[in-house]
Chain A
């Protein structure tokens, strides 16, 4: 029965599994997968051997009616015991060699000349994404070019009153995870072969909304990526009429506060805080709030109305905005393409 499950595991790959570790889409993930598969089959072989032996013994040596003779009393056999000490040792040594090779191989830093550097800052419960050379800041949706190693610099640091905690950065189809421990700066390399959207999420328990700390890696062809960067690097448009204009004003100051206390918008004077996500090109995102909500007017309304109802514990307060105010803010935010 378990064997059937094991086989099912591999056939199950055909089903849509956007976060599967079994379908690598980049060289890092592939190298990890290539290491896992043979070990998996070796383990399966040991499994079949041991369980087969159990079944054999259970059938062959079961008590039979009428046989009351007491079996021969065997106390041990040094040769056999040596044998089943040595064989597993040899098998494991065989596994160990490529494992250690791969550990060192994967720990190498990609060539600074060709790689793209991206800085990720993990927050409770969202990811801040920074392209240091291009001076672009965004959140949760990480755009990368295909065919080029991306070298992530990961940290979890305090911003505002927040106490940083451990998170773990992970996009299964591109590679394994890297814990982001406060007080340490760590690095991770991913590379995507094909354009597409790869799902990921925070993998280290980081508090109440850990499940809602998701992310997306969006790989473009190098040309598309340049275009995206270009747009992202530009200043945000300032609406000059209508509802969006009203939202623009509210964003700067609404009764009881200002969104600028936490959110930056490149092109809006005074909006430089980095407590919440940078919203310069918010309107061009697919999702928001830790990539858990689709960027639609309804979802955005829900968010502005009461962030904690969308994401428990959300660090953005509920300002008791009126429907009219929310409507205006939504219009403004969506205009930030």
Chain B
């Protein structure tokens, strides 16, 4: 649909939704920007849920032999905390940025399949809601975020009564996997096929590049966990033998399949944040990214190498010295491309003119904190000693440093960075700084002690611990830190609220940005670009604003200034509606089908747990939705 003006065929389609404001407009939207916002808001709500679960864990662990919550509740909470944070927070939060900014960065008007994009979101939401209904339908999943068999095959957890807790987990993850696969294929096609003229692969912004790598990882990793989940599901529902030792099954198969997905998954979680940081650092250093090609290729290398390290989660299983050595080696050397990135980022800042706006603080915080998590990761690769570390809080420390210090810091940085583009208003800088420093302090107070606790022998996933182990002090410190994080999150919410009413108007290009999204109005018009830009180099927009001599000195560009095509004259204004020309740009029409069809999935899943009747209804909705969708023209 790029530049083509579609013929108008009004009148004969019956059920095309028309709302452009209000709830229905959101439910039926196929605009990638609105879908991005939906992802973002949902993921943030889930972040609060996962965070509250974490706070409850921390209260329980604050003192030894505490009885604040029961063992069963604790197990449900840590399982839901881990599952939520990974599948319902970081992945969709990344997806929010992919959706909103990927098309903008490559100069496209939308993603390849707008309705499919909406469908991905609704299926994701349905999966999340489905999983959370478990709290009211007999108890939440309680078997850990990697759901080891045979604990989680039928009977394992409580062999007296068959419980449904982990059914919710398995089915929920299958639904979420469908959502992510569909979205990954969609974004892959978008990047492969819909780049603006001149936007060659090696001119794409690094965020787009990392998005690209992540979609490949998703497309290849998700089917693996899907198979594993089906095997577990069949064991649970139909009494098959995949993980039943008596009949020849092998629980280690689950671990191989899960981690063969699971390790690429952790790079799925971190690469988007790395992409965001690669956007923020150059802007606030006022220098181009140091070694663009090398940063891109190390991202690709991480993506590749990530497939060859999974058994480092299984060093205590006893796979034998040869396998352990091989995986120790691959695990260690994955540090090399990551290190290259770190040093390239530092070199980007080196010699720059650093402005410590909030996004920049988060980006630097990312580099500093992720390094700590990465280094503890390397110490896990020392197999003989990993048998001491594994399943202790030392591991919990590692992954919170990479997940929170890495992914969450990066994503918060992205939120501050792109907020003005999305809403047209700048988040308050002073509150933003308070937000950062509180979070930075709280984060380190919470998770640094975990290193000590782990090395002093505190096992993870234990709902309590005895006195006299030397763990009391650091547990208390960590709990205090966790509440500090909560305060920082509250500060963020306050900032958002305040900005809605009192926020400073941002203008199109508040940070003097480098990539195409800054060339259009804030918020962008529905069709993104009045005229599809033509791209000539990396950081094209920046080079429209500044010319560079052969010594690397900059001067404001002589002629033209910022902007592309005919809209140039209007750059800086809020371009909705006034421009001539874009009236003719026909965007895909909204549709009821994506959201409607998505309802089928949780119904099917509840049906599998509770009642065949629901299965029938769910399947009918799914099929009906798909056929209706198939027969609906993509634009009217």
Interfacial chain A residues near B546, Cβ < 8 Å: 70
Please judge, given known A-B contacts A47-B372, A99-B381, A211-B71, whether A176 and B321 are in contact too, CB under 8 Å. no
Q: Using an 8 Å CB-CB cutoff, how does the interface string of A116-151 with B read, 1 for contact, 0 for none?
A: 000000000000000000000000000000000000
Q: CB distance A57 to B372 under 8 Å?
A: no
Q: CB distance B469 to A89 under 8 Å?
A: no
Q: Which of B151, B355, B378 contacts A39 (CB 8 A)?
A: B378
Stretch touching chain A among B95-103, B184-192, B327-335, B619-627: B327-335
A-facing residues in B555-611 (Cβ within 8 Å): none
Shortest distance from the beta carbon of B69 to any chain A beta carbon, whole Å? 12
Please judge, given known A-B contacts A67-B353, A165-B150, whether A177 and B457 are in contact too, CB under 8 Å. no
A259 to B548, CA, bound (A): 87
Nearest to B350 among chain A residues (CB) is A57
Nearest to A68 among chain B residues (CB) is B353
Q: Is B23 an interface residue (CB 8 A)?
A: no
Interfacial chain B residues near A162, Cβ < 8 Å: 159
Number of interface residues of B (CB under 8 A): 106
Q: Is B22 an interface residue (CB 8 A)?
A: no
Interfacial chain A residues near B329, Cβ < 8 Å: 96, 100
Stretch touching chain B among A199-207, A250-258, A274-282, A320-328: A199-207
Q: Is A334 an interface residue (CB 8 A)?
A: no
A81 to B297, CA, bound (A): 12
A-facing residues in B79-95 (Cβ within 8 Å): none
A57 to B386, CA, bound (A): 34
Q: Is B294 an interface residue (CB 8 A)?
A: yes
Q: Using an 8 Å CB-CB cutoff, how does the interface string of A161-184 with B read, 1 for contact, 0 for none?
A: 111111010101001111101111
Q: Using an 8 Å CB-CB cutoff, how does the interface string of A40-67 with B read, 1 for contact, 0 for none?
A: 1001001100110110011001110001
A36 to B287, CA, bound (A): 40
Q: Is B444 an interface residue (CB 8 A)?
A: yes
Nearest to A182 among chain B residues (CB) is B245
Q: CB distance B354 to A70 under 8 Å?
A: no
A12 to B329, CA, bound (A): 32
Q: Which of A9, A20, A53, A168 contacts B346 (CB 8 A)?
A: A53
Please judge, given known A-B contacts A47-B371, A183-B249, whether A165 and B448 are in contact too, CB under 8 Å. no
Nearest to A207 among chain B residues (CB) is B157
Please judge, given known A-B contacts A57-B354, A104-B325, A176-B387, whether A81 and B294 are in contact too, CB under 8 Å. yes
Please judge, given known A-B contacts A32-B384, A164-B150, A165-B156, whether A95 and B287 are in contact too, CB under 8 Å. no
Q: Which of A61, A103, A165, A201 contacts B352 (CB 8 A)?
A: A61
- Chain A interface: which size bin? 35 or more
Nearest to B556 among chain A residues (CB) is A70
Q: CB distance B382 to A36 under 8 Å?
A: yes
Shortest distance from the beta carbon of A151 to any chain B beta carbon, whole Å? 14
Interfacial chain B residues near A205, Cβ < 8 Å: 75, 143-144, 148, 151, 391, 460-461
Q: Is B11 an interface residue (CB 8 A)?
A: no
Interfacial chain A residues near B368, Cβ < 8 Å: 50-51, 54
Interfacial chain B residues near A267, Cβ < 8 Å: none
* Given A61-B352, A88-B339, A172-B457, 19 further pairs, Cβ under 8 A: A32-B385, A43-B375, A46-B375, A51-B368, A62-B356, A76-B292, A84-B343, A96-B328, A99-B332, A100-B328, A158-B246, A168-B391, A175-B387, A179-B318, A183-B251, A186-B318, A211-B459, A312-B72, A313-B158
Chain B residues packing against A (C-beta within 8 Å): 70-72, 75, 142-144, 148, 150-151, 155-159, 245-246, 249-252, 285-288, 290-294, 316-318, 320-321, 324-325, 328-329, 332-333, 335-336, 339-340, 342-344, 346-347, 349-356, 364, 367-368, 371-372, 375-376, 378-379, 381-392, 444, 448-449, 451-452, 455-466, 468-471, 546, 548, 551-554
Chain A residues packing against B (C-beta within 8 Å): 1-2, 5, 8-9, 12, 15-22, 29, 31-33, 35-36, 39-40, 43, 46-47, 50-51, 53-54, 57-58, 61-63, 67, 69-77, 80-81, 84-85, 88-89, 92, 95-96, 99-100, 102-104, 106-107, 158, 161-166, 168, 170, 172, 175-179, 181-184, 186, 199, 201-212, 292, 312-313
A-B contact pairs, 13 of them (CB 8 A): A33-B388, A46-B375, A76-B291, A85-B340, A89-B336, A163-B159, A164-B150, A178-B387, A199-B469, A205-B143, A205-B148, A210-B461, A312-B70
Q: Which 3 A-B pairs have the closest CB atoms?
A: A176-B387, A19-B457, A17-B470
